[in-house]
Structure 1
Amino acid sequence: MVMLITGLALFLGMHSVSLIPGLRALFARAIGEGGYKLIYTVLSVVGLALIIFGKIQAHPTPNLYYPEEWTRTLALFAIPLSLILLAAAYTPSHIRKVLRHPMLLAVFIWSGTHLMANGEQASVVLFASFFAWSGLSLIAAYIRGGGKPAPKGWGGDVTAIVAGALVSAIFARLHPILFGVDIIG
């Protein structure tokens, strides 16, 4: 679990720099914009790798709770929604215009539904960390304000929905192979 927790600290720590006003600018001034981006990228990639390998290494850990069956059904419907929101973060869409922070909402939904559906200790640490981080980041982002202009047409929305649905279908097939858990059954 040490590797998993270290990975979470690195990955979420780097992604939390913007939660403290002025901290990112301070780092960028101290080491330069390029240096900051390089360190951000390297620590994020290392953190993500440690999260993945730490979760694999930690398996199996004891169950902290035994989720109800309906939580898996909820995840079955919520995860495609989160993948649509993730795609909407990268397309000029009305979804992005209205929600303003679809990627953070995607992580919040993904981690929250996985947290409800998984009671095993390493999973709880993983998903609770992302759930707490995305919740705090959403609050901070909405307080900061901002937003994107409304796009012309609905192409970005259609792209987000199709891409999210397609990735959902792919993950449904790969989930048992990658994570050892069949999403249906």
Structure 2
Amino acid sequence: MTLLIVGLVLFLGIHSVRIIPGLRDGMVKGFGPGGYKLLYSLLSITGFVLIVWGKIEAHPTEMVWDPPVWSRTVALIAVPLSLILLISTYTPGHIRHTVRHPMMLAVALWSGAHLLANGELASVILFGSFFVWSVMVLIPAFIRGGAPSTPPGWGGDVTAVVIGGLIAAALARFHLYLFGVAVIG
């Protein structure tokens, strides 16, 4: 469980520098733009690897709660929506323009649905950390405001729905092999 927690601290920590006013600018000034990008990348990759390794190593852990059966249905609906939001981050359209921060909303939706559907301690730590982090980052992002300046078009929305749907279908099909839990069946 230690590797999971260290990974979460590294990954979410470096992704949280915008929460503290002046921290990112100070790091860029101290390390230089290239040095900051390198540090950001190394901490992100290291954190991600430790999260995956730590979750695998920790499994199975004790149950914190017994998730209700309906929580799996919520996850079946929320995950494809979160993937559409995630893809819309990179495809200018009505979704991105309206939501303003689709990536953070996608992480909140994905992690919240998984938190609800998983009562095992390591899963609660993993998905709970991502959920709390995404809400902590999302609130200041909405306060800062600013919708994307790109004019909305339908092409980006169609792309986000199609690609997000295809990724969701692939994840549903291979979730058992990737994560040890069957989504359907």
TM-score, normalising length from structure 2?
0.98
The residue number in structure 1 matching 2:3 is 3
The residue number in structure 1 matching 2:60 is 60
The residue number in structure 1 matching 2:82 is 82
Equivalent pairs: percent with the same residue? 60
Equivalent-residue separation in structure 1 for 2:86 and 2:183 (angstroms)? 20
Deviation at 1:151, TM superposition (A): 2.6
The reply to whether residue 131 of structure 1 matches residue 131 of structure 2 is yes
- SS of the residue 2:18 aligns to: helix
Letter in 2 for 1:11: F
The residue number in structure 2 matching 1:109 is 109
The residue number in structure 2 matching 1:156 is 156
The residue number in structure 1 matching 2:38 is 38
Runs of 4+ in structure 1 off by over 4 angstroms are none
Deviation at 1:134, TM superposition (A): 0.2
Equivalent-residue separation in structure 2 for 1:31 and 1:153 (angstroms)? 39
Deviation at 1:88, TM superposition (A): 0.3
Given that residues 5 and 51 in structure 2 are in contact (C-alpha distance below 8 angstroms), is that contact kept between their aligned partners in structure 1? yes
Deviation at 1:44, TM superposition (A): 0.3
Deviation at 1:57, TM superposition (A): 0.2
Given that residues 94 and 150 in structure 1 are in contact (C-alpha distance below 8 angstroms), is that contact kept between their aligned partners in structure 2? no
Deviation at 1:47, TM superposition (A): 0.1
Structure 2 unaligned spans of 5+: none
The residue number in structure 1 matching 2:13 is 13
Equivalent-residue separation in structure 1 for 2:153 and 2:90 (angstroms)? 16
Structure 1 unaligned spans of 5+: none
Equivalent-residue separation in structure 2 for 1:132 and 1:153 (angstroms)? 32
Deviation at 1:147, TM superposition (A): 1.8
The residue number in structure 2 matching 1:69 is 69
The residue number in structure 2 matching 1:99 is 99
Across the aligned residues of Structure 1 and Structure 2, the Cα RMSD in angstroms comes to 0.8
Deviation at 1:173, TM superposition (A): 1.1
Equivalent-residue separation in structure 2 for 1:49 and 1:124 (angstroms)? 18
Equivalent-residue separation in structure 1 for 2:52 and 2:81 (angstroms)? 23
The residue number in structure 2 matching 1:142 is 142
Equivalent-residue separation in structure 2 for 1:153 and 1:100 (angstroms)? 15
Given that residues 84 and 165 in structure 2 are in contact (C-alpha distance below 8 angstroms), is that contact kept between their aligned partners in structure 1? yes
Deviation at 1:56, TM superposition (A): 0.1
TM-score, normalising length from structure 1?
0.98
The residue number in structure 2 matching 1:26 is 26
The residue number in structure 2 matching 1:51 is 51
